[in-house]
With several copies, the nearest count.
Chain A
């Protein structure tokens, strides 16, 4: 957390945040499934100003072969940012931050995916952040879970993700960019709504134990809302003609 000084009023006297939201309000979220031609599964998400594209390939043969596991399929994940996705043009080579987020997202998805059914194979998840805003790892995780489902990979549950945080001494849902920079804490959470399990949790910033408990709780509520949007994206894709 930056915790830097700023003139921005993060929370006004009516508990309204700098982007006009209430403390328990999500940013605008749009998810579409099946947006790519060549990928086995794909999705596109707009989450606040995040714009992220995900493509999934597999289960397929593993290259190089020595990475294959005879007992189970494996998951690989690449989180990558386009050069034009951030204020200062980004070098296209993967940064250490991107490599860490790739790993964290992979481990957040693993509990939801039934890989045992496809030994010796790999499922590849490619995430491209076309435009980055606060909470891009949660946005990416939401999209990736939908893309996995779109690819027909057997899953125990979807993973829904959302951050909670602390700004101006209040716990709020879905921390945006300014709140991340100037607020007190940011806690991204990934959650399987049906299994009631947390698959991703990180924290930057300072919280008491009670604030910590509240944050997780608030984030989980957000995840449950997002889960409905994810489900709708999949229904829109697969039953477009039927249900409308």
Chain B
């Protein structure tokens, strides 16, 4: 941390003590969420999400694949994330570091564990041929909280995606001239809560992210249940704080779900 960072941290803490955040938000208020879908025509689905000044473009590519050996009755779902070097001066091109690997895996699990996509409906022939759904997140501007921004972008891209239809002919998948939609069973919403001193704040921006003690990312489903979570950072939570975080994630999540839902494609 530079001296400037220290001063900013001090300032942020001062404000929190007076129940204020550095960008004027309430503690439990996420930044504005702007979603645009269908911007990449070569993808089956795509979405750009602006969470404040954090910006992510997600694209969905769907293609036939071999199933995983022990999961022959399910389609494949893989979600990745990359912070583009144009997103921030500190990002260097190259293979992903531990931060980006964690990011991608947390976003992936958030969607996977809610069973958002009914993968059992994406089987062409059991144990032989299934449909694979790849969702790639490209972060184009960084202002903190990539977990939620990527999760919303991936979710919106999936919701707005079409689903090509294949039929097996002589064991080979043949693309038919019709389109369906991805079978959706619930809409996951990820909410990240930051802990600074003893204050819990939703959707930390880059300044807050830098000086927070710990964070927790909780994904809830349409039924208001908790489905996946991940603690991060060098600090720790009390039991009571964790219960509070769950309540926050469920209530804030239900509001954000309404925004995401608007982008759901119908047949």
Contacts from A to B (Cβ < 8 Å): 1, 3-4, 36-40, 42, 49, 51, 53-55, 57, 60, 63, 71, 78, 80, 82-89, 92-94, 96-97, 99-100, 102-104, 107, 110-111, 124, 126, 128, 130-132, 192, 195-209, 212-213, 216-217, 220
> Can you list 21 A-B contacts with CB-CB less than 8 angstroms, sorted by A residue number?
A38-B141, A39-B89, A83-B61, A84-B42, A86-B42, A89-B63, A96-B101, A97-B105, A103-B101, A104-B231, A126-B84, A131-B42, A132-B42, A192-B236, A198-B236, A203-B113, A208-B226, A213-B246, A216-B239, A216-B242, A217-B239
Kindly state whether residue B114 has any CB partner on chain A within 8 Å. yes
Q: Is the CB of B60 within 8 A of A36?
A: no
Q: When A and B form their complex, which 7 residue pairs have the shortest distance between CB atoms, in order from nearest?
A: A84-B59, A55-B86, A197-B236, A110-B234, A126-B86, A83-B136, A84-B43
A78: chain B residues within 8 A (beta carbon)? 85, 93
Task: Report if A37-B53 is in contact (Cβ < 8 Å); known contacts: A84-B61, A89-B134, A208-B225.
Answer: yes
Interface membership of chain B positions 47-89, coded 1 if the CB is closer than 8 angstroms to chain A and 0 otherwise: 0000001010101110100000001000000001010111111
Q: Is the CB of A36 within 8 A of B141?
A: yes
Contacts of B187-241 to chain A: CB distance below 8 A: 216, 221, 224-239
Q: Is the CB of B101 within 8 A of A100?
A: yes
Q: How far is the CA of A205 from the CA of B134 in the complex (A)?
A: 22
Q: Is the CB of B113 within 8 A of A1?
A: yes
Task: Report if A198-B243 is in contact (Cβ < 8 Å); known contacts: A100-B101, A206-B113.
Answer: no
Q: Is the CB of B93 within 8 A of A126?
A: yes
Q: Do most interface residues of chain A lie in helix, strand or loop, or is the interface mixed?
A: mixed
Looking at the assembled complex, report how far the CB atom of A181 sits from the nearest CB atom of chain B, in whole angstroms. Answer: 9
Looking at the assembled complex, report how far the CB atom of A70 sits from the nearest CB atom of chain B, in whole angstroms. Answer: 10
Q: Is the CB of B228 within 8 A of A203?
A: yes
In the complex, the chain B residue whose C-beta lies closest to that of A39 is: B86
Kindly state whether residue B158 has any CB partner on chain A within 8 Å. no
B225: chain A residues within 8 A (beta carbon)? 206-209
Looking at the assembled complex, report how far the CB atom of B226 sits from the nearest CB atom of chain A, in whole angstroms. Answer: 5
A60: chain B residues within 8 A (beta carbon)? 89
Q: How far is the CA of A183 from the CA of B98 in the complex (A)?
A: 29
In the complex, the chain B residue whose C-beta lies closest to that of A132 is: B42
Task: Report if A203-B85 is in contact (Cβ < 8 Å); known contacts: A37-B53, A78-B93, A131-B42.
Answer: no
Looking at the assembled complex, report how far the CB atom of B157 sits from the nearest CB atom of chain A, in whole angstroms. Answer: 9
Kindly state whether residue B109 has any CB partner on chain A within 8 Å. yes
In the complex, the chain B residue whose C-beta lies closest to that of A97 is: B105
Kindly state whether residue B152 has any CB partner on chain A within 8 Å. no
Number of B interface residues, CB 8 Å?
Answer: 66
Looking at the assembled complex, report how far the CB atom of B64 sits from the nearest CB atom of chain A, in whole angstroms. Answer: 12
Residue from B95, B216, B237, B247 with most neighbouring chain A CB atoms (10 Å): B237
When the two chains form the complex, which single residue of A53, A203, A217 contacts B86, counting CB atoms closer than 8 Å?
A53
When the two chains form the complex, which single residue of B104, B227, B239 contacts A205, counting CB atoms closer than 8 Å?
B227
Q: How far is the CA of A38 from the CA of B205 in the complex (A)?
A: 14
B228: chain A residues within 8 A (beta carbon)? 203-205
Contacts from B to A (Cβ < 8 Å): 1, 39-43, 46, 53, 55, 57, 59-61, 63, 71, 80, 82, 84-89, 92-93, 95, 98-99, 101-102, 104-105, 109, 113-115, 134, 136, 138, 140-143, 216, 221, 224-239, 242-243, 246-247, 250
A202: chain B residues within 8 A (beta carbon)? 229-231
Q: Is the CB of A51 within 8 A of B40?
A: yes
Q: Is the CB of B98 within 8 A of A131?
A: no
A217: chain B residues within 8 A (beta carbon)? 239
Q: Is the CB of B59 within 8 A of A206?
A: no
Looking at the assembled complex, report how far the CB atom of A189 sits from the nearest CB atom of chain B, in whole angstroms. Answer: 9
A212: chain B residues within 8 A (beta carbon)? 226, 243, 246
Q: Is the CB of A36 within 8 A of B101?
A: no
When the two chains form the complex, which single residue of A57, A87, A200, A206 contacts B227, counting CB atoms closer than 8 Å?
A206
Q: Is the CB of A196 within 8 A of B238?
A: yes
Q: Is the CB of B85 within 8 A of A126?
A: yes
Task: Report if A38-B226 is in contact (Cβ < 8 Å); known contacts: A86-B42, A198-B237.
Answer: no
In the complex, the chain A residue whose C-beta lies closest to that of B186 is: A206
Q: Is the CB of A89 within 8 A of B61?
A: yes
Looking at the assembled complex, report how far the CB atom of B19 sits from the nearest CB atom of chain A, in whole angstroms. Answer: 24
When the two chains form the complex, which single residue of A57, A83, A86 contacts B80, counting CB atoms closer than 8 Å?
A83
In the complex, the chain A residue whose C-beta lies closest to that of B134 is: A89
Residue from A40, A94, A208 with most neighbouring chain B CB atoms (10 Å): A208
Looking at the assembled complex, report how far the CB atom of B104 sits from the nearest CB atom of chain A, in whole angstroms. Answer: 8
Task: Report if A92-B80 is in contact (Cβ < 8 Å); known contacts: A83-B59, A111-B235.
Answer: yes
In the complex, the chain B residue whose C-beta lies closest to that of A56 is: B86
A195: chain B residues within 8 A (beta carbon)? 236
Q: Is the CB of A37 within 8 A of B40?
A: no
Q: Is the CB of B61 within 8 A of A42?
A: no
